[in-house]
Structure 1
């Protein structure tokens, strides 16, 4: 690895993810909007954010909250106008911040003009923009592929007698990337936004765009047997992404992140190694499946802590050795709140929120902060199915009961797993609706907002918010955050995740107690001898008032987490 590899500015940056529907409403209609984000840019600047990732604000019927795009080049009136968007870019750039927008090109809404043309006639030039197949011999579905939202991945069109592919909702038709016209249209669309001043793109489920053109049945030999092995990291995916880089990403020097569904380490190294000329970095989700029994999302089990540590470690080591780059995250709009999922969102809520932040921000990669994470927002308290809005959750509530679960059991699963857990409105203050809207919010506000909100966090110097601010600043101050080599140090300890990042004579040491117990943790001699110090180093950041010096044996209170900067022999 050469020093020049670390010269890209975004390697030292922190990204803040905005789910616009739930961020800030300025009109009183109950839905967040672009002007609401612009209004809060000073807050994000003070937090230390470099890049704002704005999720889809395009014209959309909103069956999947904007990931069902009906017009890629127009702003959904629910979120504002193109003038509002232009103002947002201007205000971000005035503050020295960048804008990353979401691009959804595995599929479009069935209300997109391309699909309307495609479905109108087999002879229409747009027919080949999507994936159409005849029924199987003898009738029925072309293959046994399943939608990620539940049910078959094929939808029947009565007029033409053919099926079209929908890997997600039935209103989200998959684009046919084998068609060069589709690829040209996508590049043209991205150039439209790049010329407007957008600084980067987050590419939604981008590793699914290349499908096995035989569309074979899945024999179930590779779990979960839903067809994904025939379209995940597909045969031409790297070719397609390299073309995007050549036409758009490279010429505009954009920062890009690919969302990789069910991917592999080897592919992510290729996707994010600068020499490959594809993406700046990648998201993978393996560490967020450690509470999926047998890979099944809609069943419950305690999370596997050792698996969580092992996966982080494997991806840290593998990406570093292969020249790739990680997008670091515990939270996003598709996941329950990590605070409720992996730690204690009640008695030790503050310690837990700081622990998750410290553990993540010490790793190599670009950290992502999802709105509300920085103030310790937990999963809300759901009272009934009528409070949910997410299409995936509503589908699964029905499917789980069809599979034999009681309504109460199905609801308990949704309370833990639903994407709505992370989509409740941002909690700005203790006024009605947490200061999110003067109207009726589109999704319920968590009832604990009077105690958990930005205003309250800003007033306390030892708050979760200020902890995030300090972590973000440390990444900019110390090169070891970017360049340090990762080494796991906890030897499978049942409660502790410990690691170092070393390089150029420096060592960053991170130790976190992921339990509600007071415990002892001792560095093995083989690790301790790599650290040359007198045992007097105080943490550069920690989550308790009595932060200990770095010694070979540590006493750790419940959910204690510390980060030391010392010298290294390696």
Structure 2
């Protein structure tokens, strides 16, 4: 590895700023709150922090509706606070990533306001406006958040604008070279400040193939999923290559894209000359979501499918480039609730999940609170949910004939707000997140037992386990090369509930074994290993081992030549 690939030895920690730490006492997290916790990141061992959007925004979609790319929203602080965060993090050897959202802006962005005010201004062509058909939308596309993807323009007859997400997020027109130039200039402006890179949101939606009229509906609402016409469309490659060459590569920036890329295109996206340094894999993190996107239904996935998805992605990605590994993010529920039955959701199984993803090849992304084992939240009523997508899913569940009780349970299982509740720092008021009388969203009631303060003082805690896993990757040691760069080779076992793989180099190999079941399991070994980390006991010089329910082990073995 050379310095151009600094991210391969990195551990990324994702922050949802509204919920991380409130320094000014208004019930909302802020940049000064993040600055106050920089020492915590050093103690944890991470060296990259990714911030969900902190740009000026009306917060219709949690900041992914940007009103000004150059200004920090007053909710989070000032541009000077952002400069301070970059500077103080850099002094600790920590790089900052921001979210890059250029598929759309907020409808409150000056460009869009001008486009509405003056149909003849150049800004009308910054967005996608189309005439309707007999006063109706140009077609029956369904947006990602439900409902029509077209919104009628106020005070104009038969004119609509496109929004792939909420109606307050009009899509930019990337066919317009001025739009592309505006975005490139903005990216470079941030990189000049010393930013380490970007997580890139919804980037594969930039190119649109617009069709008119009634398309075959795929839901009871009479609409058709927009993704078929705006995802991975031919021609997007030219734009992505131009952005990379004119921005990211100039600054040796880390870029991780939210992009579901077909295997035959992977080399163009994450190869040596790829558009991005890595992309996220959705095959196992969205395994609980049906193909229709109606996540209130759940998909009834199996461990066999999970195992196949994880290992297939590893084998595919390592052929072409580098991956980004994660269990949780701001769009997911808590992993312990997603992957495990209620009766087995405990610290033991949380450590198993941590082992599973932290030992894969690629850069691990830890989401705030994941390292202490935070869980989904039980809301009292639908009004407690803030997330726009959650309210859409509830509406669609009710339309499908589901009872209110069953629909509400579906929100508990999969709402994005499960991962957006305040970070649990202590057992004090509001979990130590804020001194305000009321926080912007509810605090999970289990903060008195699950919090950073308690786990920092417990060497058997989930937090302590994460620290050890991070140290295996970041600190020089006998197996670091295999853990970071080793090829992933599936370790064949007869049980479908055992996920096992090796990380191998010429000199050493690491064997990862995870029991994803509530039963004891026997696994044969192909040699004598030493224990690197595990959530259960392990004795060396055994021909086979007995894994406890949800047990996990990371074992190391040197080659004969290197001994």
Corresponding residue to 2:62 among 61, 65, 68: 65
Corresponding residue to 2:149 among 149, 153, 178: 153
Query: Are the equivalent residues in 2 in contact too, given 1:490–1:496 (CA < 8 A)?
Result: no
Could you say which residue in structure 1 is the equivalent of 2:365?
368
Q: Structure 1 residues 540 and 566, CA, compared in 2 at 3 Å: closer, same or farther?
A: same
Q: Any stretches of 5+ residues in structure 1 without a counterpart? A: none
Could you say which residue in structure 2 is the equivalent of 1:507?
509
Corresponding residue to 1:516 among 499, 515, 518: 518
Q: Does 1:558 align with 2:557?
A: no
Q: Does 1:10 align with 2:7?
A: yes
State the TM-score, normalized to the length of structure 2: 0.94
Write the mapping of 1:300-339 to structure 2, written as runs, cut at 5 A.
300-322=298-320, 324-339=321-336
Q: Does 1:34 align with 2:59?
A: no
Could you say which residue in structure 2 is the equivalent of 1:542?
534
Write the mapping of 1:389-408 to structure 2, written as runs, cut at 5 A.
389-408=386-405
What is the Cα-based RMSD across aligned positions, in Å? 2.1
Write the mapping of 1:212-361 to structure 2, written as runs, cut at 5 A.
212-214=209-211, 218-219=215-216, 226-260=225-259, 262-276=260-274, 278-296=275-293, 297-322=295-320, 324-344=321-341, 347-361=344-358
Cα separation, 1, equivalents of 2:66 and 2:4: 35
Q: Does 1:87 align with 2:84?
A: yes
Query: Are the equivalent residues in 2 in contact too, given 1:232–1:263 (CA < 8 A)?
Result: no
| Residues 129-150 of structure 1, C-alpha deviations (whole Å, 9 max, x = no match) | 11111113x4422122211111
Cα separation, 1, equivalents of 2:149 and 2:323: 30
Cα separation, 1, equivalents of 2:16 and 2:53: 8
Could you say which residue in structure 2 is the equivalent of 1:179?
176
Query: Are the equivalent residues in 1 in contact too, given 2:281–2:313 (CA < 8 A)?
Result: no
* Aligned partner of residue 330 in structure 2, secondary structure: coil
Query: Are the equivalent residues in 2 in contact too, given 1:70–1:112 (CA < 8 A)?
Result: yes
* Aligned partner of residue 289 in structure 1, secondary structure: coil
Cα separation, 2, equivalents of 1:351 and 1:23: 25
Q: Structure 1 residues 346 and 48, CA, compared in 2 at 3 Å: closer, same or farther?
A: farther
* Aligned partner of residue 77 in structure 1, secondary structure: coil
Query: Are the equivalent residues in 1 in contact too, given 2:500–2:511 (CA < 8 A)?
Result: yes
Could you say which residue in structure 2 is the equivalent of 1:484?
486
* Aligned-residue offset at 1:569: 8.1
Q: Does 1:130 align with 2:127?
A: yes
* Aligned-residue offset at 1:423: 0.5
Write the mapping of 1:106-145 to structure 2, written as runs, cut at 5 A.
106-136=103-133, 138-145=134-141
* Aligned partner of residue 307 in structure 2, secondary structure: helix
Q: Does 436-445 or 548-557 show the bigger shift? A: 548-557
Write the mapping of 1:185-224 to structure 2, written as runs, cut at 5 A.
185-214=182-211, 218-219=215-216
Report the count of equivalent residues: 551
Could you say which residue in structure 2 is the equivalent of 1:462?
460
Cα separation, 2, equivalents of 1:373 and 1:550: 34
* Aligned-residue offset at 1:225: 5.1
* Aligned partner of residue 84 in structure 1, secondary structure: helix
* Aligned-residue offset at 1:214: 4.4
* Aligned-residue offset at 1:346: 5.8
Q: Structure 1 residues 492 and 299, CA, compared in 2 at 3 Å: closer, same or farther?
A: farther
Cα separation, 1, equivalents of 2:207 and 2:160: 18
* Aligned-residue offset at 1:298: 2.5
Cα separation, 2, equivalents of 1:220 and 1:214: 14
* Aligned-residue offset at 1:352: 1.3
Q: Any stretches of 5+ residues in structure 2 without a counterpart? A: none
Cα separation, 2, equivalents of 1:522 and 1:295: 40
Q: Structure 1 residues 344 and 470, CA, compared in 2 at 3 Å: closer, same or farther?
A: farther
Q: Structure 1 residues 396 and 346, CA, compared in 2 at 3 Å: closer, same or farther?
A: same
| Residues 434-474 of structure 1, C-alpha deviations (whole Å, 9 max, x = no match) | 00000111111111111000001100112111111111111
